[in-house]
Amino acid sequence: MSPPTTAEPVVTSDGAANHAMRWWILAVLGTAQLMVILDNTIVNIALPTAQHSLGFSNADRQWIVTAYSLAFGSLLLLGGRIGDIFGRKRTLIVGLVGFAGASAIGGASVNFVMLVTARTVQGAFGALLAPSVLALLTTTFRNPAERGKAFAIYGGIAGAGGALGLLLGGILTSYASWRWTLFVNLAFSAIATTGALLWLKNDKAADRDPIDIPGLLLVTSGLFCLVYGFSHAETTAWANPYTVGFLVVGALLLVGFALLETRASYPLLPPRVVLNRTRGGSMLAMLFASIGIFGVFLFLTYYLQGTLGFSPVKTGVAFLPMVIVLAGTAQVSNRVLLPLIGPKVIVPIGLLVDAAALYLLHLVGLHSSYVSHVLPYLLLLGLGFGLSLAPSFSTGTLGLEPHDAGVGSATLNTTQQVGGSIGTALLNTLAAGAATAYLVGKALNPENLKTAALHSYTTAFLWSSLIFVAGAVIAGLVLRSGNLATLAGDVRMPEAEPAPVS
């Protein structure tokens, strides 16, 4: 069916077409975002099978995940800036095609080096793609009512994508091949690229200012060191000299980047983007939610498969009720609650609901029933994510002018990615420590090993709960009060001021 063509496009100052095509554009952006989000979990399900097929070690296996995270996390701000300079339609299409090409190479891999190289390239093109998606969403939907609906859909995709990745990964690995967890990206990319060519306007460059090379080197190096440090902690220990060294150097480089941006003539990340309390508070909420969310997808997957004996496909299906509740709640929170009362109330409440659900999940046992001891808390998690994640995406980019949309979107994506890296390393370390502590002085028989594994999962759930509580407190303190109309006026005030000059 052809899309409606009765309305003439009205091109905004940044070149995005705010016209009858906008809902088709949303479908394109949603497909692209789903591809990126799915990739965080769909490959994880296939890793043991891929390892057996290609014959690489357990130590090498971690690099399939780490290589993607390093490239994606460290290059996001550069990807956002490239979109500002060359136009988001171009960078979106290049990102989609490059991501698909790298996925095809990864799926056809004949050895570990080929697969890890493909994953690195995937991450690099993902860093170009993700900021373009969110920036185009921000600039296409400027009407408050339509913006709420669009960001509710986007937030639902972002929150549910991980669970859908588990389901799709399980199905493809079980009934096709681990290679199809990568080949499937070609279908997503083909759909999104076709839609982008048909319906997206050739937007003009939003910003032709010179690239802040010193800032770019500092932030890229800093994020690389930070993500690598957390990944290294996951496979070694927090006290490992390399872990400590990379984390310290990463933190120092990012502090240097923050100081430089206040003095740069053309800052890579203008301070006005993050210093506004509405946007900054939303980014902090996203950071803490991304840290804690790994306690859900990672360790609940372990529990369902390792303790309750679920298959990969059944595990994916088990997450679907949470996805349904999340999608419905995202619509209500973004379209009804956010315009009425603003994020200061609903985002902390959503994070506290997630904290309560994870606290209750930490009470599960070796023989708990999914229906009585897991499902109710998954529904509660869906409610909490719908109240916190979807509004955070919307208010994290609220009021951004076209020339700031790319870097603002990249910053929000960066907080999500860094939060995920922290969560994976922190919770894995805490879980492993809990299992080791439990086994001290006990016989290493199957029953004790199974109980130790359960203890590690429930420890991760408990710490995830505390992380969500901390996120709720910080979001409640930082976010400004007021409804969306009031906050929209507030966030635009600083944009009238010129960027700081040296």
DSSP 209: P
Contacts of 389 (CB under 8 A, 6+ apart): 155, 158, 159, 286, 289, 326, 330, 350
Written as six digits, the tokens of 115 are 């697969």
Radius of gyration of the chain (CA): 22
pLDDT score recorded for residue 8: 36
Closest CA to 276 of 411, 180, 122: 411
Q: What is the pLDDT of residues 254-270, one digit of tens each?
A: 999 999 999 998 899 99
pLDDT score recorded for residue 254: 96
Separation of alpha carbons 303 and 77, rounded Å? 36
Q: What is the pLDDT of residues 9-38, one digit of tens each?
A: 334 444 444 456 889 999 999 999 999 988
CATH 1.20.1250.20 given to domain 22-211+268-493: yes
199 within 8 A of 3, measured Cβ to Cβ: yes
Q: What is the pLDDT of residues 453-468, one digit of tens each?
A: 999 999 999 999 999 9
Q: DSSP characters for 227-267? A: HHHHHHHHHS-TT-HHHHHHHHHHHHHHHHHHHHHTT-SS-
Separation of alpha carbons 156 and 431, rounded Å? 29
Separation of alpha carbons 455 and 436, rounded Å? 10
pLDDT score recorded for residue 489: 64
Burial status of residue 265 (CB atoms within 10 A of its CB: 0-12, 13-18, 19 or more): exposed
Q: What is the pLDDT of residues 164-206, one digit of tens each?
A: 888 999 899 889 999 999 999 999 999 999 999 998 887 776 6
pLDDT score recorded for residue 404: 86
Q: DSSP characters for 266-317? A: S-SS-HHHHHSHHHHHHHHHHHHHHHHHHHHHHHHHHIIIIIS---HHHHHH
| pLDDT-wise least confident of 8-12, 102-106, 220-224 | 8-12
Written as six digits, the tokens of 323 are 């996805």
Residue 125's pLDDT band (boundaries 50, 70, 90)?
very high
Q: Which helix (H) or strand (E) holds 479?
A: none
286 within 8 A of 419, measured Cβ to Cβ: yes
Q: Which helix (H) or strand (E) holds 48?
A: helix 22-54
Q: Long-range contact list for 136-139, CB < 8 A, 24+ apart?
A: 136/16, 136/25, 136/29, 136/88, 136/89, 136/92, 136/200, 137/26, 137/29, 137/397, 138/397, 138/400, 138/405, 138/408, 138/409, 139/12, 139/14, 139/16, 139/88, 139/203, 139/402, 139/405
Q: Which amino acid is at 375?
A: L
How do the domains of the chain map onto residue ranges?
A: 22-211+268-493, 212-267
Written as six digits, the tokens of 294 are 């790994």
The answer to whether residue 43 scores a pLDDT higher than 60 is yes
Separation of alpha carbons 364 and 378, rounded Å? 13
201: three-class secondary structure by DSSP = coil
